[in-house]
Structure 1
Amino acid sequence: MTKAAPFAEIWRGPFLESVHSGHAVICDETGQIVEAWGDPDLVILPRSSSKMIQALPLVTSGAADKAGLGTEHLALACASHNGAAIHTDRVGAWLDTLDLAEDAFRCGPQWPDDDAARHGLIRAHAAPCQIHNNCSGKHSGFLTLAKHLGAGPEYIDPAHPVQQACLSAFEEATQETSPGYGIDGCSAPNFASTLHGMARAMAHFAAAPEGSPQTRLHQAMRLHPELVAGEGRACTELMRATNGTVALKTGAEGFYIAILPEQKLGIALKAACGTTRAAECAIAALLVRLGALDAQHPATLNRMNAPILNRRDVVTGILKPAQTLLQ
Structure 2
Amino acid sequence: MPETFPVTAAVELAVVERSGFVESRHSGSAVVLAPDGTTIASHGAPGAAVLPRSTLKPLQALACVTAGASLGGERLALATASHSGTERHVAVVRSILEEAGLTEDDLGCPPAWPGDSAARDEMVRDHAAPSRLRMNCSGKHAAMLLACRASGWDTASYLDPSHPLQLHIREVIERLSGERPSATAIDGCGAPVHAVTLTGLARGIHRMGTSSERSPFALHRTAAALIAAVREHPWTIDGPGRPDTVVIERTGVFAKTGAEGLIVMVAPDGTTAAAKMLDGSSRAASTVALRLLERAGAVTTADADRARTDLGLAVRGGGQIVGVIRPVV
Normalization by structure 1: what TM-score?
0.91
Pair 1:216-2:225 in alignment: yes
Partner of 1:142: 144
Partner of 1:229: 238
Instruction: Map Cα deviations across residues 260-281 of structure 1 (whole Å, 9 max, x no partner).
Output: 242x222211011111112122
Pair 1:167-2:167 in alignment: no
Partner of 2:256, secondary structure, is strand
Question: CA separation in 2, counterparts of 1:207 and 1:44?
Answer: 23
Partner of 1:307: 314
Question: CA separation in 2, counterparts of 1:121 and 1:158?
Answer: 34
Partner of 2:89, secondary structure, is helix
Range moving further from structure 2, 187-196 or 28-37: 28-37
Q: In the TM superposition, what are the counterparts of 1:176-215 in structure 2 within 5 Å? A: 176-211=179-214, 212-215=221-224
> How many angstroms does 1:83 deviate by?
0.1
Q: In the TM superposition, what are the counterparts of 1:103-142 in structure 2 within 5 Å? A: 103-142=105-144
> How many angstroms does 1:315 deviate by?
2.2
Question: CA separation in 2, counterparts of 1:28 and 1:171?
Answer: 21
Question: CA separation in 1, counterparts of 2:319 and 2:290?
Answer: 24
> How many angstroms does 1:294 deviate by?
4.3
CA contact (8 A) 1:26 1:265 kept: yes
Question: CA separation in 2, counterparts of 1:89 and 1:139?
Answer: 14
Report percent identity of matched pairs: 38
Q: Of the candidates 158, 162, 174, which is equivalent to residue 161 of structure 2?
A: 158
Runs of 4 or more off by more than 4 Å in structure 1? Answer: none
Partner of 1:74: 76
> How many angstroms does 1:139 deviate by?
0.6
CA contact (8 A) 1:307 1:319 kept: yes
CA contact (8 A) 1:205 1:259 kept: no
Partner of 1:27: 33
Q: Of the candidates 262, 275, 291, which is equivalent to residue 255 of structure 1?
A: 262
> How many angstroms does 1:293 deviate by?
3.7
CA contact (8 A) 2:16 2:324 kept: yes
CA contact (8 A) 2:267 2:293 kept: no
Question: CA separation in 1, counterparts of 2:170 and 2:268?
Answer: 24
Partner of 1:83: 85
Question: CA separation in 2, counterparts of 1:315 and 1:267?
Answer: 29
CA contact (8 A) 2:246 2:311 kept: no
Question: CA separation in 2, counterparts of 1:85 and 1:314?
Answer: 33
For 1:99, the aligned partner's letter is G
Normalization by structure 2: what TM-score?
0.91
For 1:26, the aligned partner's letter is V
CA contact (8 A) 2:17 2:315 kept: no
Number of aligned positions between the proteins: 314
List runs of 5+ in structure 1 lacking aligned partners. none
Instruction: Map Cα deviations across residues 227-263 of structure 1 (whole Å, 9 max, x no partner).
Output: 1000121100010111x3x21100000000012242x
Range moving further from structure 2, 144-153 or 204-213: 204-213
Instruction: Map Cα deviations across residues 51-86 of structure 1 (whole Å, 9 max, x no partner).
Output: 01001122223x23xx3x221111000000000011
Question: CA separation in 2, counterparts of 1:27 and 1:318?
Answer: 28
Partner of 2:217: none
List runs of 5+ in structure 2 lacking aligned partners. 215-220
Partner of 2:218: none
Partner of 1:281: 287
Question: CA separation in 1, counterparts of 2:326 and 2:34?
Answer: 27
Question: CA separation in 1, counterparts of 2:20 and 2:130?
Answer: 45
> How many angstroms does 1:95 deviate by?
1.2
> How many angstroms does 1:29 deviate by?
5.0
Question: CA separation in 1, counterparts of 2:95 and 2:118?
Answer: 20
CA contact (8 A) 2:272 2:293 kept: no
> How many angstroms does 1:283 deviate by?
1.4
* Cα RMSD, aligned residues only: 1.7
